[in-house]
Amino acid sequence: MIIFLPENIKDNIYKSVKTEYPKECCGILLGKVRKQVLICEKAINTKNIAPNPYQFFEIDNQEIINIQKIYRKNNLSIIGHYHSHPNSILSSKPSKTDINSIFDKNLCWLIIGINGKSIELSAYFPVKYNNNSYNLKKINIK
């Protein structure tokens, strides 16, 4: 599994990460899935409704449904989501909370670590174990 993430989309995501800093920013990735390739065609910044947005993120379900409705017409579907880790020692690695909140094994995760001016981006895809627990496996970004 790899994700194809065009430079202009990456730049849009970085812009949102910097705008929301030091809060966590979050958003939805739209695109297409071709065999083992996720093709990202759009990133939409969403509101972070977590009670503590400095350490957590939560995307409003209604906002997800609205995005789905709008982009279904363009044959784009939700392929994943992104969020930032401001000033975290984890940088772009998933937190325990991230792993515990995997709800869809078909959605890719982009995590952006931001410490001052340095930014690190990683992509992950869920893996499900026999005991029904999940983890996030790092995937390549092209």
Residues that bind Zn ion (CB under 5 A): 95, 98
- Residue of 69, 8, 19, 70 lying closest to 43 (CA atoms): 8
The minimum distance between CB 23 and Zn ion, in angstroms, equals: 13
Nearer to Zn ion, 35 or 96 (CB): 96
Q: What six digits make up the tokens of 62? A: 């209604």
- Residue of 142, 109, 141 lying closest to 125 (CA atoms): 109
Comparing every residue's Cβ against Zn ion, the nearest one is 98
Nearer to Zn ion, 76 or 80 (CB): 80
The minimum distance between CB 52 and Zn ion, in angstroms, equals: 13
CA–CA distance, 71 with 79 (Å, rounded to integer): 12
Q: What six digits make up the tokens of 59? A: 């995307």
Nearer to Zn ion, 6 or 126 (CB): 126
The minimum distance between CB 111 and Zn ion, in angstroms, equals: 6
The minimum distance between CB 83 and Zn ion, in angstroms, equals: 5
Q: What six digits make up the tokens of 96? A: 């325990």
